[in-house]
Structure 1
Amino acid sequence: MSLVRPEREEEGLRLDAYLPYRLSVASNAVSGLIARAYQDRFGLTIPQWRLICVLAEDGALTQGQIVARTVMDKVTVSRATQGLVKRHLVARSEHHADARSHVLALTTEGRRLYAEIAPLALAYEAALIAGLAPEEVTLLKRLLARLQAAAGQLNGEDPPNVSLR
């Protein structure tokens, strides 16, 4: 791995200008806002919401497929699954090809909750990007996908399957 050094090293690291820091702060601010809304109104954690959303979009999946799709770790997905199964929002069934694995799917109640939350999620997104032009939003999504791919490549991972819908 070859890392490029900044041209003006004498400036040193300035945290507020450091892109990884700015991305983290922005992500934490957005996640905190959304997390409070989901927790207060629906009693869901962010991982639980992500799991519900992925199952609503993709249909039934194994926990391993959810880990790959959401880039959440196995323990986080397992805990989110347990909470959702306990609330009867997700059903767990045996995997036909692998007895050690389970297939997860939204229940009727889970699909109903998704239908209630999805418009709220879209409204939050619209409010967050209200000050940006449509082409800026498109560019931002493209740049974020490229940064994610670059980070994965530096980490020795395969390129992510990122949708820019």
Structure 2
Amino acid sequence: MTAELDLEHFLPYRLSVLSNRVSGAIARVYSERFDLGITEWRVIAVLGRYPELSAGEVAQRTAMDKVAVSRAVARLLEGGRLERDVSDADRRRSVLRLSEAGRAILAEVAPHALAFEQRLLAGMAADERDALFRLLDRLDALELQAEAELDAPQ
């Protein structure tokens, strides 16, 4: 007998659907105005917070597919929204940073994204928000542990 997958109670499915809906809602702010996709926006947001990462480090930090990040980076470089340089610490390493145009996009979109988050969380009490973020941190740690167990030799 095959196990039944009850999607309404399957955590990966629920998280994916919620993430897609939230990302899609925020995407309306930047997609039409700046011709950015979700992956491109995430690259801009991450480099705004953590400048001078390699494309691989952006992929690792966001848990996005390396190929999708690479395509987004190429498009952002082509559009003048990112700059690529050689790391001062390791001349073999290429690092990315926001260009002036990329910083301008971040400066315009970030307040809208934060306002959306505020509206989204406004229906929760402060203790519920605190609990949510504690649980997300805990789930993140448990996921890493479960992934390591999957990768461990049997």
TM range (shorter): 0.7 to 0.9
Higher helix proportion: 2
Aligned length: 145
| Structure 1 residue 130: Cα displacement | 1.5
Aligned equivalent of 2:32: 40
| Structure 1 residue 147: Cα displacement | 1.1
Change (3 A) 1:65 1:14: closer
Aligned equivalent of 1:129: 121
Aligned equivalent of 1:52: 44
Q: Is the aligned partner of 1:92 residue 2:76?
A: no
Aligned equivalent of 2:152: none
Aligned equivalent of 2:17: 25
Partner AA of 2:35 in structure 1: G
Q: 1:98 & 1:65 partners in 2: Cα distance?
A: 16
- What's the secondary structure of 1:156's corresponding residue? helix
Q: Is the aligned partner of 1:82 residue 2:80?
A: no
Structural RMSD (CA)? 1.8
| Structure 1 residue 91: Cα displacement | 0.4
- What's the secondary structure of 1:155's corresponding residue? helix
Q: 1:30 & 1:95 partners in 2: Cα distance?
A: 34
Q: 1:112-162: CA deviations, max 9, x gaps?
A: 1111111011011111111111221121111112112212211118xxxxx
- What's the secondary structure of 2:49's corresponding residue? helix
Q: Which runs of 5+ in 1 are unaligned?
A: 1-11, 158-165
Q: 1:13 & 1:43 partners in 2: Cα distance?
A: 37
Whether contact under 8 Å (2:29, 2:109) holds in the other structure is no
| Structure 1 residue 15: Cα displacement | 2.5
Aligned equivalent of 1:162: none
Q: 1:111 & 1:65 partners in 2: Cα distance?
A: 19
Q: 1:20 & 1:149 partners in 2: Cα distance?
A: 15
| Structure 1 residue 13: Cα displacement | 4.8
* TM-score for the superposition, normalised by structure 2: 0.84
Q: 1:23 & 1:156 partners in 2: Cα distance?
A: 20
Aligned equivalent of 2:57: 65
* TM-score for the superposition, normalised by structure 1: 0.79
| Structure 1 residue 18: Cα displacement | 2.7
Aligned equivalent of 1:5: none
- What's the secondary structure of 2:148's corresponding residue? coil
Q: 1:64 & 1:20 partners in 2: Cα distance?
A: 24
Change (3 A) 1:59 1:13: closer
| Structure 1 residue 105: Cα displacement | 0.7
Q: 1:94 & 1:47 partners in 2: Cα distance?
A: 23
Q: Is the aligned partner of 1:15 residue 2:23?
A: no
